[in-house]
Amino acid sequence: MISIQVKRYGMYLCVFLVMALLIPACRPSAPVRTEGMPRVEPIEASDLEERIHQFPTVPLAHLPTPLEYMPSLTRVLRGPKVYIKRDDQTGLAFGGNKARKLEFIMADVLEKKSDVVITAGGVQSNWCRSTAAAACRLKVKPILVLFKSPDSPVGTGGNLLLDRLFGADVRIVEIGDGSEIDTDVLFHRISEEEKNHGRNPYIIPIGGSSTGESMTEPLGAISYTKAFLEILKEVDRRKIKVDYILLASGSGGTQAGLVVGAKALGSSIKIVGISLSREKKPMQENISAIANETAGILKLDLTISPEEILVLDEYVFEGYGILTPEIAQAMEKVARTEGILLDPVYTGKAMAGLIDLVSRGFFRKNDGVVFLHSGGTPALFVYQDEILEMIQDN
């Protein structure tokens, strides 16, 4: 035992001497290697804030949203410390991540003096409901193209009810019978009709993430680079140890924005996306493309490769919008431990992923994980029968 100790000290001494000899020879600018992401020269948070500030916004969201510790969930999972970022509390028509995106996007709509917004999504789209609400507030007419598929519960309530309450011009399009729907053609047809009525339409791509149509800059993603700053500020102030931010990833703008924030600031926080429907590879490609565009307009000297994007497709389960027992049980667990409601399409799925990752030892016990609650709760009541079948004691 003692001889081992002596040997080890001897080794430390050798390492120390070698280092002492080498250090003067090292150039101070020698790159520091860290696992995962290739490093770039980080910038200050105030600098990033300043760059984001160049893009106008309209106030639509209640910010900052709370960052809460979930002690009971942490206890029952017996894993890392779990926090929740309450972006379900952004305040615009039941909240959600789209309110942040729309602060930037609607500013562009107003700047271009558009009086109609045209966008699309599923029948229970949170994006469309949020856009309708923002449009009403800003006296812009919302036109929503809603795709209806035979295999997911759609109902007439939830987001669809809210779209109608906002007086949105709703155009339901049936899909899933094998025929291809070209969204661009649809958008342009509606756009032409509006122009013929003397209006100035603005077309926003699905989810407000990718650029295209009237949106020439990734304005939705920028809002989540800003949200990363918001999270970091709070984490620093409260001296919380955060290693991961985990979120549901769909059109990818939310994850792309967070990734840009983390990389620009040289943060060690890893952003983990749980894919809702698509496979890992196309998700990585799409998210890195949006992230690079975002970095570009913020004039950041960095690139993000698809391989750097952490996104998991193990939790797609039966596909987009289809409730499974894993999702229902994740919703049940968070409701019964923390009194917090998740949704059946996005956050319930992401939480099912988090719970499974904890059980598989993905995180270390002393890690801190922020779960991004991206909203979606209006769809909860559309799934009432399935939820009741899948949860316990009812």
For tokens 């939790």, what's the residue? Answer: 315
CA 107, chain centre distance (Å): 21
Among 210, 251, 286, 324, binds ligand PLP (CB under 6 A): 251
Burial class (CB in 10 A: 0-12, 13-18, 19+), 295: buried
For tokens 């305040």, what's the residue? Answer: 91
Please state the closest distance from residue 199 (CB atom) to ligand PLP, in A. 27
Site for ligand PLP in 104-133 (CB under 6 A): 126-127
Among 253, 261, 348, 353, binds ligand PLP (CB under 6 A): 253
Q: Does 74 participate in binding ligand PLP (rule CB under 6 A)?
A: no
Stretch that binds ligand PLP, among 1-9, 92-100, 192-200, 230-238 (CB under 6 A): 92-100
Q: Does 214 participate in binding ligand PLP (rule CB under 6 A)?
A: no
Stretch that binds ligand PLP, among 60-68, 179-187, 357-365, 372-380 (CB under 6 A): 372-380
The helix-helix angle for 126-137 and 98-111 (nearest 10°) equals 50
The one catalytic residue among 3, 29, 72, 125: 125
DSSP 8-class letter at 80: S
User: 388 and 394 in contact (C-beta within 8 Å)?
Assistant: yes
For residues 300 and 264, give the distance between their C-alpha atoms in angstroms, rounded to a whole number. Answer: 7
Among 80, 95, 96, 344, binds ligand PLP (CB under 6 A): 96
Q: Does 249 participate in binding ligand PLP (rule CB under 6 A)?
A: yes
Q: Does 248 participate in binding ligand PLP (rule CB under 6 A)?
A: yes
Among 153, 158, 252, 344, binds ligand PLP (CB under 6 A): 252
For residues 82 and 73, give the distance between their C-alpha atoms in angstroms, rounded to a whole number. Answer: 7
Q: Does 324 participate in binding ligand PLP (rule CB under 6 A)?
A: no
Stretch that binds ligand PLP, among 8-16, 37-45, 95-103, 260-268 (CB under 6 A): 95-103
The residues, any chain, with a CB within 8 Å of residue 33's CB and separated by 6 or more, are: 39
Nearer to ligand PLP, 201 or 253 (CB): 253
Q: Does 344 participate in binding ligand PLP (rule CB under 6 A)?
A: no
Among candidate residues 243, 249, 219, the one with its CA nearest the CA of residue 231: 243
Q: C-alpha dihedral over 249, 253, 258, 264, to 10 degrees?
A: 140
Q: Token pair of 59, please?
A: 């106030």
> Catalytic site residue 114?
no
Give the residues lining the site for ligand PLP (CB under 6 A): 96-98, 126-127, 207, 209, 248-255, 343, 346-347, 374-376
List the catalytic residues.
Answer: 125
